[in-house]
Amino acid sequence: MSNSFGSKAMRFWPMALLAGIAILAIVGAAALVTVSGRYNVAADVPHTQAVYWLMQTSRDRSIEVHAANIVAPDNLADPKRVADGAGLYAEMCSRCHLAPGTERTEISRGLYPRAPELGRGVDLTPTEEFWVVKHGIKMTGMPAWGVTHGDKLLWDLVAFLQKLPELTPDQYRALVKSAPSHEEMMGTEADHGHEDHTHH
Amino acid sequence: MKRGNRFCVFTSNLIFGAFVLAVPGVSLTAAVAHEGHGMTCTETGINALNADVQAIRDGEAKTRAMKEMEAAQDMMAKKNMEACTSHMHNAMDAYEE
């Protein structure tokens, strides 16, 4: 019995020592890369595939988890909501995320990671889109619009995003033209308060 | 020249003219379509296009674009700028899909 315990211990400690050394080496290497300044943070040099995957996966999972308890309003298809959202989109988003019939802009070409062209559709649910629009995303250039805009306006924007991939350039322009001005919408929201019936 | 012959010459000139105009037109259209992306075979151009390709939604088009970009980088290393540019155009075609 004691012999068997002894042989197990003999096998365990060298393995534990090796694992400890490996962990220390990884942490040491990460610390070295961090403090040496060797990793290039310039926006005109893309991440390696491994780093890009790590950041993309962290971002996608974070959005999924944080948006899990949000409940979307049931009138996202309301034409008034979609039209109001079009006005907001043209004002707040189109320079980076582009719009039907528009050329790539200087800012859209220089941002890293690139802002997704939302007209091509995205893999997010409406509640996930709402969370992203409201809270922004660190180190991407995506601002937290919730700091300056109430939930009602942000849901209008999300309502519009559901329609965006189907729109022709003419339809997009017509929708934007039919929307109230940004100032009007901000004023309306201040008058009526925030539509905040969800937990986020 | 007979009237029928004159018509034939006119028609063939028209067709030839249209062809001459169409060939550069096609390359011009392709160039304009890719104008929004840095299409020069330089480190800056390759980096810009790599960043564009990373932003494509996962799928067959992205895989193809990434392979084309690898080939473009190989060609740039071998100083074959024409092949490099061609691969960059192919990557962009996948991006535009």
**ipTM, interface predicted TM-score of the complex:** 0.73
**Angstrom distance (rounded) from CA B5 to CA A70:** 77
Per CB-CB distance under 8 Å, the chain B contacts of A109 are 36-38, 48
Residue A103 lies in a domain: yes
Same domain flag for B29 and B74: no
Per CB-CB distance under 8 Å, the chain B contacts of A47 are 54
Same domain flag for A84 and A140: yes
The answer, yes or no, to whether residue B85 has pLDDT greater than 90, is yes
pLDDT of residue B24: 45
Same domain flag for A3 and A77: no
Cα B88–Cα B94–Cα B46 angle in degrees, nearest 5: 25
Residue A196 lies in a domain: no
Same domain flag for A95 and A142: yes
Domain count, chain A: 2
| 3-class secondary structure, B36 | coil
Same domain flag for A14 and A112: no
CB contact (8 A) between residue B54 and residue A46: yes
The answer, yes or no, to whether residue B36 has pLDDT greater than 90, is no
CATH number at residue A168: 1.10.760
**A157: which residues sit within 8 A by CB, 6+ positions away?**
A85, A88, A89, A92, A93, A133, A145
Segment A24-47 shows an average pLDDT of 92
- Out of A63-72, A77-86, A115-124, B34-43, least confident range: B34-43
The answer, yes or no, to whether residue B29 has pLDDT greater than 50, is no
Name the residue of chain A whose CA is nearest to B37's CA.
A109
Domain boundaries, position A20: 1-39
Question: Facing residues of A137 across strands?
Answer: A142
Same domain flag for A30 and A65: no
pLDDT of residue A12: 85
The answer, yes or no, to whether residue A93 has pLDDT greater than 90, is yes
Domain count, chain B: 2
- Choose between A182 and A133: higher pLDDT: A133
CB contact (8 A) between residue A103 and residue B51: no
- Report the residue from B38, B55, B57 with minimal CB separation from A113: B55
Segment B56-62 shows an average pLDDT of 89
The sign one gets for the Cα dihedral B75, B77, B82, B86 is positive
With residue B21 as reference, give the H or E element that holds it: helix B3-33
Same domain flag for B49 and B95: yes
Per CB-CB distance under 8 Å, the chain A contacts of B35 are 103
Domain boundaries, position B94: 38-97
Cα B3–Cα B8–Cα B10 angle in degrees, nearest 5: 95
**A118: which residues sit within 8 A by CB, 6+ positions away?**
A93, A97, A98, A161, A164, A165
The answer, yes or no, to whether residue B30 has pLDDT greater than 70, is no
Same domain flag for B1 and B25: yes
Q: Distance, in angstroms, between B40 CA and closest chain A CA?
A: 14
CB contact (8 A) between residue A44 and residue B54: no
Per CB-CB distance under 8 Å, the chain A contacts of B52 are 114
Q: Please enumerate residues of B whose Cβ is less than 8 A from a Cβ of A.
A: 35-38, 44, 47-48, 50-52, 54-55, 57
Residue A198 lies in a domain: no
CB contact (8 A) between residue B55 and residue A103: no
- Choose between A194 and A191: higher pLDDT: A191
SS (H, E, C) chain A: CHHHHHHHHHHHHHHHHHHHHHHHHHHHHHHHHHHHCCCCCCCCCCCCHHHHHHHHHHHHHHHHHHCCCCCCCCCCCCHHHHHHHHHHHHHHCHHHHCCCCCCCCHHHHHCCCCCCCHHHCCCCCHHHHHHHHHHCECCCCECCHHHCCCHHHHHHHHHHHHHHHHCCHHHHHHHHHHCCCHHHHHHHHHHHCCCCCCCC
The answer, yes or no, to whether residue B21 has pLDDT greater than 50, is no
Segment A66-88 shows an average pLDDT of 97
Segment A118-138 shows an average pLDDT of 96
Q: pLDDT digits over A146-187, tens only?
A: 999 999 999 999 999 999 999 999 999 999 999 988 888 887
**Angstrom distance (rounded) from CA A72 to CA A58:** 24
Same domain flag for B45 and B86: yes
